Structure 1
């Protein structure tokens, strides 16, 4: 994996955790929140980080740090189709 890709992955993981830290324990975030927080620009370029943000959420879920949810229920990341939310592991 190229260094710039690794740095982006790390920024996204850090953004997810920091955003969740600033919210109530039961709160969720959207991967787009992390993409916007990690994007280093002021245009719509954050949209290119959407899939990397979803992958970052899957890595954090595999590590037991977050849960991926759909319709308010935790799901296995491999089952996720469509919009997801991310929350701290309960």
Structure 2
């Protein structure tokens, strides 16, 4: 369940590795439910994993999750409809399945 603490995690917060895995899975799941040409925003994954009060804290972790998925050849990061180098992307990004 989103926001459920992982046993042993400090302060009752989910462990970082667990959140990272959930964000990656969320990105792939959200994209799988959409048309092959569709994109999502990292905030979609952050909202799916976080709760109403914490999803904003997951924005940068969601962007990092997308970059890891790019490294694995699963997704592409775009800006203005063009594929961009994830390391150089600043500002709003979109995520799509690799074509």
TM-score range, shorter chain: over 0.9
Question: Which structure shows the bigger proportion of residues in helix conformation?
Answer: 1
Cα deviation for residue 61 of structure 1 reads: 0.4
> TM-score, with normalisation over the residues of structure 1?
0.93
Q: Which runs of 5+ in 2 are unaligned?
A: 1-8
RMSD across aligned positions (CA): 1.3
> Hey, what does 1:49 align to over in structure 2?
58
Please state if 1:38 is matched with 2:55: no
> Hey, what does 2:24 align to over in structure 1?
13
Q: 1:66 aligns with which of 70, 75, 89?
A: 75
Q: Which runs of 5+ in 1 are unaligned?
A: none
Distance 1:87 1:14 in 2: 14
Of structures 1 and 2, the one with the larger relative CO (CA 8 A, separation 6+) is 1
> Hey, what does 2:3 align to over in structure 1?
none
Please state if 1:75 is matched with 2:92: no
Deviation sequence 1:42-90 (CA, Å, 0-9, x none): x231000000000000000010000000000001101101000000000
Question: What is the total number of aligned residue pairs between the two structures?
Answer: 87
Q: Where in structure 1 do 4 or more consecutive aligned residues deviate above 2 Å?
A: none
Instruction: Look up the SS of the partner of 2:91 in the other structure.
Output: coil
